[in-house]
Structures are given as C-alpha cells and as structure tokens.
A and B are shown apart, each in its own frame.
Chain A
C-alpha cells in the first residue's frame, strides 16, 4: 500500500461481459475558467498523453479557437484534430493538479489519463487480480 494513496475499484463497462470488461476508471473533477465538470476517466498507463473528448472541453467552457497549440494524436484518434488545453483536476482528497490534455474533436473516446502528465503527477499501482487500483500523489511510494 502506498502511503496516502486512495483505492479505487475497476469498473465493468459492459455488465453482460462482466470481468472481461473491467477497466480502471477513476472519478475526478475538472475545472477550467471557474467551470467544474465531474467525469470518470480511464487510467491508461499505455497512453502517451491525456485525452479530453470534445464535449467535456466544451462543458468546461473552453473555446476551440482559443486553443492554439496543435497536438498530433495516433491510432483511431489520428484523424481528429486536437489542441492542447490545461485544466485543474482533483481526485479524491488529493490537492488539485494542473493536467495538460489533448482536447480532441472526437467524442467517441473516454477521458484518458496518460503518461503526460497524469502519471507524472500521481503514482499508481494496479492490482488487476483483485480488481482494484491505488492512486497517490507523486512521491507517495516513499521514493
């Protein structure tokens, strides 16, 4: 157990498939320009970066034209334009952190928490055999 870490259950996103569809989704709040949105985000250690679907960014009051830094995505997201956006994210009782997202025009994708920069701000341990994972602020593993 990491010091100060919080434990979360895996979420079965397709009830008919049960454990086969269980993924590490974490509830968090995103804040941008005084607007706050609660979302469930996929903790994806295989993703190079954080991804924000278009509608969530719009709910946060972000304007596409004002985000001027293009972000090149890959895979199924490669065909969708994406721009960099920074929002304040809060998980559980942890202090808010600034997270940079690739805000994509695509809405088929979940909120993804990837290596840049979610995994630079939080230490994460996955215990898939127990269907739980732990998240703690960086440094909570004692190093």
Chain B
C-alpha cells in the first residue's frame, strides 16, 4: 500500500513537472494574432472568448476533417495535437 502511494506521488510529481501550469494560456496565445488577445477579435476573424468549449472543439475537428470548409483553419488545426486543441478550447471558453 505504502509503495503504491509512493508510486502515485512519483507519477503525479512527474506529470506536474512535465506540464506547465500555464500551458493552456500559452497555447491559446498562438491564436491571438488573428483572433485577438485572449480571443477577443476586433476584425472579421471570429472572437473565441466565452464560446462554449464543446462548440470550439467541434469546429476545430470539422476544420481538420474538411467537413467545414476553410481557407486556412484546416492547415492550422492540423498542426496541434488533440490534447492541445482541448486546452485551447477550454482556455477560450473561460474568457469573458
């Protein structure tokens, strides 16, 4: 039992060490050039701030598959992993 707890702590420590606590924020910031700081666009590109996470994720998946036609978003969405897209969608959903 004690060994198991030690192992669990070790695994947790390893995960905590591996992932930056601000990873979602950092990833979402790569979208800001077109979609505005924190997802608040002032141009014709869509604002992402405050959009439901599921909606953002669904759109990204549709861009990726080509189901939703796009000029550039398929090419960009293909550059991120599923886990990264999930973090990005969560971050924008939490912006007001």
Q: Do A and B come from one complex?
A: no
